[in-house]
Structure 1
Amino acid sequence: MDHHTASQSDPLYDLDSADWVPDWYSRIAGHLQPPRLAWPADPIGTVTPQASETTGLPVGIPVCAGPVDAWAEVWGAGVRNPGDTMLQYGSTFFVVHNLKAPSSHAQLWSTAGVAPGSRCLAAGTATSGSLTTWWRRLWGNPDFSALADSAADVPPGSRGLIVLPYFAGERTPIFDADARGTITGLTLAHGAPELFRATYEGIACGVRQILELLEDGAERPGRLVAVGGSTTSELWVQLVSDLTGRTQEVPEQTIGAAYGDALMVAQAVHDVDTTPWTAIERMVEPQEKNRQVYEELSADFTELYSLNREIMHRSAQRQRQAESDGETDRLSVPKP
């Protein structure tokens, strides 16, 4: 097992010693032999004849330990130096920060990194692209580009709408499985463009909260590198920069845990130049003209959850009661 994956196996792994914790391991998984540990880019063997027969890969190809998908994407995006931070625009929004010095935070996940001895703090939301997909499905799957263009024509603040994107509960920073999606400010004058933009803005507010946790409780992120399928939406990436006040770098290659895995193997087996792999395509700067409206929106976003938390929890309880009464079809999450 690679050190990064092991470090997510609390409390079996100790970050300081970079090894298994014997007492905990024997208590929880004593019937299993502790896996040998290796760093993700370490070669650990070669393709065996049996594996070759199963996969079609030639016998003898080097095999590296590899990390979990998000950390492979970190590597492929060139987020490798202390202070670098990856913003992953996926079905959920995920943030990985490479620490300059070991640190921890109660609302952030502490892990080993990809490079030997490296440490990370990570965070994630519960929805992101999954929520915009939900809206599109609700509206009959209109063209995504057309929908994003119409949202871009809406002024900052979405004409008074605020969306709490807690449609699947929420992870960082509130860690509340019973949080619920909330839309406030609706009038008969609002439509799909306002709702879509307000959803973008709500998710961006959540990203701002995560970056503030890092800055206030650990260390200020340096480079922000944006990856993931949703970076194709220029509006969304711009709104994250506007809400956070931070510049983002968008690489030429923005999708790919497999891309990062390939780079790890290339580096492990050959002395490759990584520059072409991680070339930056564009820089996204925050727009000063939107700063004031987004400062106010961010404050209201945070207060809205605090004011409605107990109502959300009562709603969640009623939903669970409906499920127990056999109404699961109406309450289950539809498949994409």
Structure 2
Amino acid sequence: MHYMIGVDIGTTSTKAVGFNLQGHVLAEKSVEYPLLTPQPSYSEQNPDEVFQAVLDSISAVTAAARTTGFTLAGLAGISFSSAMHSLIALDENGNLLTNSITWADTRSKEYADQIKNSAAGHNIYRRTGTPIHSMSPLCKLVWLQAEQPELVKQAHKFISIKEYVFYRLFGQYVIDYSIASATGLFDIFTLQWYPPALQSAGITPEHLATPLPCTHIIRGLSAEQASYLGVDPQVPFILGGGDGCLANLGSGAIRPGNAALTIGTSGAIRVISSEPATDSQERIFSYILTPEHYVLGGPVSNGAILLSWFRDQFGMPETQLAKDLAMDVYELLLQKAAIIPAGANGLLFLPYLLGERAPIWDANARGVFFGLNLSHTREHLLRALLEGILFGIYSVANALIQVTGPIDVIYANGGFAKGDIWVQMLADIFNHEIRVTESVESSALGAVILGMQALGMISDFETIDKLVPIARTYLPNPEQHAVYQQLYAIYEGLYPKLKQDFAAITALQG
């Protein structure tokens, strides 16, 4: 009896999931940690809290596996997925000089705008596949050079959160091609650090980790770490990749016309291509899964984190009721939203509470309820919020289709795919068949599938259908789609009209 563990390091939690070799979930454990936002533009994690969450989630899964008859030798490997774009500065002794600055941090937005509007910035995008935006480590480094030069002088390495985990486990500075390709510093054509980008950031390759394939294997835990995790010290750790790239693999969306759509804290829609491709308007990314598989798509900054915001600000009745009934508060909120008709009676929501990435790439963008009148209730605001998140991803999909061709089927994953209501909205807005796999933890499953390839258990990705069984299928309602198309035409026109005002109001917010 063998199993593997996929570890998905996210923005607000780390989840470890144990899968048997047929792709079925055996056990899972999620450990949360706070997203540190002391000021409006800040978005950081405590790297040591994240590292401890990795240890605790793996330990919980191995403990659960032992209760069902698995031995130490039964664990075939542990493979990793991680959120992209984080940046941590370490000194020469490996001590933290900064927290983990996450994708959602927008302090570098002014420098990002300067780079984006330059010829050098366009060339960097074309070679690295990473849109120029405050999310990227490139822009974060330029900001640090300008705002905290003394810190930069002390820095020995600039790494991501997953690199920090591997450094703490093995004492090695290693980065997979997938995470590297989301830094804005990595040439996706040569698979090396890109000198013009490094020059813009004011660093050398020695400041960065060694780029390696996502299938790279490391062994040799300390006895203390192995004991804590409940694993053999020589268990293989597979480097893995970025969460978005692995979500496509873990949902089976690897063929032409197949897209994976994820909504977790943030959201994204992606397709897989045999070669990199960039967009003349710089709307989409081009990241690496393997040298034969490139993941093209776009991320939105505002996913289910907005539902959490709504819960905290307006959802006190559901929060209390959920406690009383021992139910999920989000299930109760979605039930409230389902009462309101499609289109929320003419209420639209621009979901830009965290600024926005694709397709507008504007850190100044802000949230807007549009069309509000006295007949609208709290439930209308909730329905419009959910639809606004999906409209944002729909706009990314339209940009992606212009570059990569039509999308036929969408595989939905992430926490939002656990329920029916929001997924049906997705089908109606996109007017596409939506497939939900048995495990919505597609990034963790994708990490496991990648690990299986690394260990020689599977030869390629073309035969993975048996590992990602489809649990549910949703078909669009044409009448609902017609309503959404009318509203989307208005939604699409709002941002261009408000762009300059967004910049002005952001300046007043500080």
TM-score by length of 2: 0.57
Superposition map of 1:179-190 within 5 A: 179-190=365-376
Q: Do residues 84 (structure 1) and 274 (structure 2) align?
A: no
Shift of 1:159: 0.7
Superposition map of 1:31-50 within 5 A: 32=206, 35-40=209-214, 42-49=215-222
Shift of 1:250: 0.5
Q: Flag structure 1 segments of 5+ consecutive residues without an equivalent.
A: 321-336
SS at match of 1:119: strand
Provide the C-alpha distance between the structure 1 equivalents of 2:198 and 2:498, rounded to a whole number of angstroms. 41
Provide the C-alpha distance between the structure 1 equivalents of 2:504 and 2:216, rounded to a whole number of angstroms. 52
Q: Of the candidates 117, 122, 141, which is equivalent to residue 297 of structure 2?
A: 122
In the alignment, is the contact (CA less than 8 A) between 2:343 and 2:487 conserved in 1? yes
Shift of 1:265: 2.1
Shift of 1:58: 1.0
Give 1:232's aligned residue: 418
Q: Flag structure 2 segments of 5+ consecutive residues without an equivalent.
A: 1-174, 319-328
Provide the C-alpha distance between the structure 1 equivalents of 2:300 and 2:394, rounded to a whole number of angstroms. 11
Over 3 Å counting, the alpha-carbon distance change for 1:58 and 1:6 in structure 2 is same
Q: Do residues 285 (structure 1) and 475 (structure 2) align?
A: yes
Over 3 Å counting, the alpha-carbon distance change for 1:101 and 1:192 in structure 2 is same
Number of aligned residue pairs: 317
Give 2:341's aligned residue: 155
Q: Do residues 69 (structure 1) and 259 (structure 2) align?
A: no
Q: Do residues 131 (structure 1) and 301 (structure 2) align?
A: no
SS at match of 1:180: coil
In the alignment, is the contact (CA less than 8 A) between 1:43 and 1:62 conserved in 2? no
One-letter amino acid of the counterpart of residue 315, structure 1 = I
Provide the C-alpha distance between the structure 1 equivalents of 2:222 and 2:305, rounded to a whole number of angstroms. 41
Provide the C-alpha distance between the structure 2 equivalents of 1:74 and 1:130, rounded to a whole number of angstroms. 21
Provide the C-alpha distance between the structure 2 equivalents of 1:216 and 1:75, rounded to a whole number of angstroms. 23
Provide the C-alpha distance between the structure 1 equivalents of 2:379 and 2:276, rounded to a whole number of angstroms. 43
Provide the C-alpha distance between the structure 2 equivalents of 1:316 and 1:20, rounded to a whole number of angstroms. 34
In the alignment, is the contact (CA less than 8 A) between 1:92 and 1:127 conserved in 2? yes
Over 3 Å counting, the alpha-carbon distance change for 1:119 and 1:55 in structure 2 is same
Shift of 1:82: 4.5
Aligned Cα RMSD in Å?
2.5
Stretch deviating more after TM superposition (306-315 or 293-302): 306-315
Shift of 1:157: 1.2
Over 3 Å counting, the alpha-carbon distance change for 1:62 and 1:82 in structure 2 is farther
How many percent identity over aligned positions?
25
Provide the C-alpha distance between the structure 1 equivalents of 2:180 and 2:436, rounded to a whole number of angstroms. 30
SS at match of 1:281: strand
Shift of 1:34: 6.4
Shift of 1:308: 2.3
Q: Of the candidates 398, 404, 408, which is equivalent to residue 212 of structure 1?
A: 398
Shift of 1:25: 5.2
Give 1:247's aligned residue: 433
In the alignment, is the contact (CA less than 8 A) between 1:207 and 1:244 conserved in 2? no
TM-score by length of 1: 0.85
Provide the C-alpha distance between the structure 1 equivalents of 2:353 and 2:217, rounded to a whole number of angstroms. 42
Over 3 Å counting, the alpha-carbon distance change for 1:132 and 1:47 in structure 2 is same
Give 1:308's aligned residue: 498
Q: Do residues 317 (structure 1) and 507 (structure 2) align?
A: yes
Over 3 Å counting, the alpha-carbon distance change for 1:53 and 1:162 in structure 2 is same
SS at match of 1:159: coil
In the alignment, is the contact (CA less than 8 A) between 1:225 and 1:251 conserved in 2? yes
Give 2:187's aligned residue: 14
Q: Give the structure, 1 or 2, with the largest relative contact order (CA under 8 Å, sep 6 or more).
A: 1
Over 3 Å counting, the alpha-carbon distance change for 1:53 and 1:280 in structure 2 is same
Over 3 Å counting, the alpha-carbon distance change for 1:159 and 1:255 in structure 2 is same
Provide the C-alpha distance between the structure 2 equivalents of 1:293 and 1:31, rounded to a whole number of angstroms. 52
In the alignment, is the contact (CA less than 8 A) between 2:248 and 2:271 conserved in 1? no
Stretch deviating more after TM superposition (136-145 or 204-213): 136-145
Stretch deviating more after TM superposition (86-95 or 23-32): 23-32
Over 3 Å counting, the alpha-carbon distance change for 1:59 and 1:200 in structure 2 is same
Shift of 1:93: 1.2
Q: Do residues 177 (structure 1) and 356 (structure 2) align?
A: no
Over 3 Å counting, the alpha-carbon distance change for 1:21 and 1:135 in structure 2 is closer
Pick the structure with more strand per residue: 2
One-letter amino acid of the counterpart of residue 293, structure 1 = V
Provide the C-alpha distance between the structure 2 equivalents of 1:109 and 1:33, rounded to a whole number of angstroms. 24
